[in-house]
Amino acid sequence: MTFSKDALAGRVAIITGGGSGIGFGIAKAFASASAKLVLASRNEERLQGAVEEITEMGGEAIAVQADVRDYDSVARVVQTAVETYGGVDVMIANAAGNFVVPAADMSPNAWKTVIDIDLNGTFYCARAAYPALKESEFGGRFIAISTTRALEGWPGCAHAGAAKAGIMSLIRTLTGEWGKDGIRCNTIAPGAIGDTEGVKRIYEDAGRKANELSSIPLGEFGKTTDIANAAVFLCSDAGAYVAGADLVVDGGRNRGRASPIVSVPGK
């Protein structure tokens, strides 16, 4: 299923971590819906590959190297977008880092690194993009990619769970402060999305894949297109009245965790 070719026509979108996984999935869907793209992350070579793929499919995109832990670096991404395309209508804070380590073994720097990328990086994206988003003729959109695991305990990922929960709180505050400027702030909370670095690290390499799969009522991992479709919806005119939401896209895991049907003796 795809949206109409002009669903995001005229919009300029920045996507951090837009060169891989979920971020690249969003980039391709946005290009198909006619948005102009600015992809930002640390690995310039990978970003250039993503830009080439988008150009080959008829889209328009540029790459800007940036580390979201550095506010000036994020501000340069926004400045480049404004200089290249004339403004910014959408900022998607998707960049993140995560790895499995029990809290008792987690070094202070391991904790700080993930908080810096996920939570501080998301605030820097919001703060740097605000003046441009405020000027958007479509009503600016700020989207942070969270996770359903932020809503529960997340053994092995204390740093990422706390960061993503902080992001959810931040979105609620920004919704209250920036609604008057026409800026719609939302999170998308994915469940486990297949063929991504996230699922590889957190479920496959950690030996938790079968367990995780069995807890998903729809019985399979999601696809990057599932998250991309949610993002196109929120950033199109169809999503104009959605603000302060956590759009959960997880095959039902969070609300209806699957469990085997137990047969009751005598019935």
| Partner from ligand NAP, ligand COA, none contacting 188, C-beta within 5 to 8 A by type | none
CA 59 – CA 16 distance, rounded (Å): 18
Smallest gap from Cβ 98 to ligand NAP, in A, equals: 6
Closest residue to ligand NAP using C-beta atoms:
21
Give the phi and the psi of residue 247 in degrees, each rounded to 5. Answer: -85, 105
Residues that bind ligand NAP (CB under 6 A): 16-17, 19-23, 41-43, 46, 66-69, 94-98, 117, 145, 147, 190, 192-193, 196-199
Return the number of the residue (21 or 251) whose C-beta is nearest ligand COA: 21
Closest residue to ligand COA using C-beta atoms:
97
Give residue 132's Cα distance to chain centre.
20
Smallest gap from Cβ 264 to ligand NAP, in A, equals: 35
Return the number of the residue (32 or 187) whose C-beta is nearest ligand COA: 187
Q: Strands 60-65, 184-190: parallel, antiparallel or unpaired by DSSP?
A: unpaired
Return the number of the residue (16 or 136) whose C-beta is nearest ligand NAP: 16
Smallest gap from Cβ 241 to ligand NAP, in A, equals: 25
Count of C-beta atoms within a 10 Å radius of residue 206:
15
Binding mask 95-114 for ligand COA (x = CB under 6 A): -xxxx-x-----x-xx--xx
One-letter identity of residue 50: A
Give the phi and the psi of residue 151 in degrees, each rounded to 5. Answer: -90, 0
Angle (CA) 255-234-36 rounded to 5° is 140
Smallest gap from Cβ 265 to ligand NAP, in A, equals: 39
In what side-by-side order are the strands of the sheet with 246-249? 60-65, 36-41, 12-16, 90-93, 141-145, 184-190, 246-249
Sites of contact with ligand COA (CB under 6 A): 96-99, 101, 107, 109-110, 113-114, 197-198, 201
